[in-house]
Amino acid sequence: MSKKKDKPEITGQEPEITKKDYKGTLHKLQVELVKLQKHFIGCNDKILIILEGRDGSGKDGAIKRIIEHLSPRETRVVALGKPSDRDSSSWYFQRYVPYLPAAQELVLFNRSWYNRAGVERVMGFCTDAEYEEFISTVANFENMLMGSGIKLVKYYLDISKDEQEKRLRDRKKDPLKQWKISPIDEQALKLWKEYSHARNEMLARTNNPAAPWTIVRANDKQLARINLIKDLLSRLHYADKDKQLVQPDPKIVFKYDALNLENGWLAK
């Protein structure tokens, strides 16, 4: 099957950015994020951003840079832990509903209901029936959210096996990152193929036309952060936008389509 002509060729060599350029560009983008927040507060917008990806893919770092200079009153990060017995006996989406954004709020989910299609699927924390129920209903749930006025953006941060191994190894050595270590980390590399299969199936079956997946190539953390923020700003309306600044690199950020599973745009 041939590649789409409107996409640049992906090679093993990713673009690079200097530390100076990274810091300068990040500062400018954070100014744009403040403009965005001022706008959506004034317009009573509700914004929900979902970040998914393997352990070590850079979700925490990306979120930190997004919220660094935003008002904490209107900005929330949601990273739920293991479900309680009550959560497990409730409607699956119920535990996430209380954390959805109200008017004037920006909410970022560091992992979301898509846990069911990733960790829970691979580790056997849900049954096949529960998984299929989720897959068959998630689009309707997201359509309901958007129908209520929530602006939903979904990102999947993708890294290679070698990069994940390096990051998980570095995490164990860093005394400031001990809170990130979990028993699941030990299985991440052992079950690499299983996680790849779960990722592929999740993206293919939940790429809701109204709320599509956007892939971020995240082997380079700095490039991933910069381009994810650019993409986010390019999608949302706000006054006095620097349109030239917020154009992401299509080699780093791109919309998911079925060809990604065949042409090397996702790590195998």
Tokens at 243, concatenated: 């349109």
Nearest to 32 by CA among 252, 231, 253: 231
Report domain extents, the chain.
19-81+90-261
Q: Supply the pLDDT for residue 179.
A: 67
Q: Which long-range contacts (CB under 8 A, 24 or more apart) does 206-211 make?
A: 206/114, 206/117, 206/135, 206/138, 206/139, 207/256, 207/257, 208/138, 208/139, 208/142, 208/143, 210/139, 210/142, 210/143, 210/146, 211/139, 211/142, 211/143, 211/146, 211/152, 211/153, 211/154
Residues of the chain with pLDDT under 70: 1-15, 179
CATH of domain 19-81+90-261: 3.40.50.300
DSSP bridge pairs for 48 = 107, 152
Q: Supply the pLDDT for residue 14.
A: 57
pTM of the predicted structure, to 2 decimals: 0.92
Q: Supply the pLDDT for residue 8.
A: 45
